[in-house]
Chains A and B, each alone.
Chain A
């Protein structure tokens, strides 16, 4: 569960207001689009959820973490609840597809037995198991995004945040990625898609939170 209560975040000593008095709740297993033009405050929202920085005021609850009150030491454990997918994929260029995914398990200290068992399953799920030995530069954009999606879900997070996941992809590939995210959501994961691409939001008939100048102007299904 994600809960924002009257959250305000400003930059440069208050001269730039990124998010103004924003409140919303996202329940477990929900599928939500967060839309808005660039500068509307979408990225700030994501960064607040990941506890990259703290809000100036307001309360943020993510799963069982009170983001504002928790100690810095616990940040990694908050983030283990959240899988993140980026527009630019952020894969490690010198590691293979398999390694890029297993890396996520390694750093949260999983056993190699678990890794050997889980990674192929996830690669199968996102439909890229035949390329597990390739390096990212040998893959197309859509394939790279699949790997990054695999990495985001391999540790069974409760929430997946996709920040412009289709920003660099053509329509068909974007559609495939969206279907994958929908499937992940069906498996019981809360999915939040941050995007300015409106073509899917209408089609998919999911909850949509629209931001404008740091405030929510629309929140409907």
Chain B
């Protein structure tokens, strides 16, 4: 392709956009709305990813041993747990340490209430096991139960399961939304290109008779679709940017549950994707119309 041609295609594309300003605006606006909604889910999704990582750490299996078990056996059990796949970290909370924590946290200032426990500690040695992936919590806790000397295995079963289910649900529903709003944007763009082709049908007809190649006729419309998609998605990014910064500065209470991704992180991993996505569906949309209505 010659550089002169590229300049021609781009100027034709913009001529199309401006000569039907109202229709171009409507398309840009509709693309903006669908990409904004879609983008909100992408942002939510990328926050869910970091949220899931935080859940991993939260999701600890506690492994208890009999009260009077010798330290040696506790140590041996640790080695067995280490051999299990997907175990990330094992932390020992000895019964002594557990009692200290109890004193600090629960019986502060009323220490005499549990003074007797120092001679006969009712607590048990415990391992806190962190997993590489919270999904396997049930399976692994069953494995640990079978290890010698392990008395009891505990984890927040319902809580973790529900959160995991919620995350999976949100992920799938955002996938559905991606497809849904992607399709809508493609249809909108393809429709506006279709109208453009209709308005320009005489000109296209003449071009064909003079001997313009098919791609020479097609390029301006493809660029037009890409430009509409790109502007629409850029505007969507602006909306999301302000929306997101509003939320993270006003919804501090959520920070107690999870860390939000910073605007910088969102910018680098979401906005570029949205922009490419917008331009991409613009190209697909115009290509569909060209294929269908431009009989070259």
Asked, given contacts A76-B214, A90-B202, whether A106 binds B8 with beta carbons under 8 Å apart, the answer is yes
What sequence of 0s and 1s flags, for each residue 140-175 of chain A, a beta carbon within 8 Å of any chain B beta carbon?
000000000001000100000000000000000000
A79–B207 Cα distance when bound, in Å, is: 10
A80 on the B face (CB < 8 A):
yes
A77–B209 Cα distance when bound, in Å, is: 10
Asked, given contacts A92-B202, A92-B206, whether A109 binds B5 with beta carbons under 8 Å apart, the answer is yes
Interchain CB contact under 8 A, B216 and A107: yes
A80–B208 Cα distance when bound, in Å, is: 10
Cβ of A108: which chain B residues have Cβ within 8 Å of it?
210-212
Which of B4, B8, B206, B210 has its CB near the most chain A CB atoms (within 10 A)? Answer: B210
* CB under 8 Å from chain A, chain B span 167-223: 202-203, 205-214, 216
Which of A76, A92, A106 has its CB near the most chain B CB atoms (within 10 A)? Answer: A76
Total A-B pairs, Cβ < 8 A: 43
A196 vs chain B, min Cβ distance (A): 22
B250 on the A face (CB < 8 A):
no
Asked, given contacts A92-B202, A107-B216, whether A79 binds B5 with beta carbons under 8 Å apart, the answer is no
A150 vs chain B, min Cβ distance (A): 12
What sequence of 0s and 1s flags, for each residue 244-282 of chain B, a beta carbon within 8 Å of any chain A beta carbon?
000000000000000000000000000000000000000
Cβ of A79: which chain B residues have Cβ within 8 Å of it?
208-211
Which of B202, B203, B208, B209 has its CB near the most chain A CB atoms (within 10 A)? Answer: B209
B31 vs chain A, min Cβ distance (A): 27
For B203, give its contact among A78, A84, A92 (CB under 8 Å): A92
Interchain CB contact under 8 A, A76 and B212: yes
A92–B201 Cα distance when bound, in Å, is: 11
User: B-side binding surface: helix, strand, loop or mixed?
Assistant: helix
Cβ of A84: which chain B residues have Cβ within 8 Å of it?
209
B15 vs chain A, min Cβ distance (A): 10
Interchain CB contact under 8 A, B2 and A155: no
Residue of B nearest to A95 (CB): B203
What sequence of 0s and 1s flags, for each residue 96-110 of chain A, a beta carbon within 8 Å of any chain B beta carbon?
000000011011110
Interchain CB contact under 8 A, B206 and A50: no
Residue of A nearest to B213 (CB): A76
Cβ of B4: which chain A residues have Cβ within 8 Å of it?
109, 111-112
Residue of B nearest to A77 (CB): B211
A45 vs chain B, min Cβ distance (A): 16
* CB under 8 Å from chain A, chain B span 2-26: 2, 4-5, 8
* CB under 8 Å from chain A, chain B span 129-175: none
B201 vs chain A, min Cβ distance (A): 12
Asked, given contacts A90-B205, A92-B203, whether A109 binds B2 with beta carbons under 8 Å apart, the answer is yes
A156 vs chain B, min Cβ distance (A): 12
Interchain CB contact under 8 A, B216 and A109: yes
* CB under 8 Å from chain B, chain A span 85-99: 90, 92
A6–B202 Cα distance when bound, in Å, is: 33
A50–B209 Cα distance when bound, in Å, is: 8
A140–B17 Cα distance when bound, in Å, is: 32
A170–B203 Cα distance when bound, in Å, is: 27
B12 vs chain A, min Cβ distance (A): 10
Interchain CB contact under 8 A, A76 and B202: no
Known: A107-B211, A155-B210. 10 other contacts (CB 8 A): A73-B214, A76-B208, A77-B211, A80-B210, A90-B202, A103-B210, A104-B210, A107-B207, A107-B212, A107-B216
Residues of A whose CB lies within 8 Å of any CB of B are: 50, 73, 76-80, 84, 90, 92, 103-104, 106-109, 111-112, 151, 155
The 5 closest A-B pairs by CB, nearest first: A80-B211, A79-B211, A107-B212, A76-B211, A76-B213
Contacts A/B (CB < 8 Å), 21 sampled = A76-B208, A77-B211, A78-B211, A79-B208, A79-B210, A80-B211, A90-B202, A90-B206, A92-B203, A104-B210, A107-B210, A107-B211, A107-B212, A108-B210, A108-B211, A108-B212, A109-B4, A109-B5, A109-B216, A111-B4, A151-B210
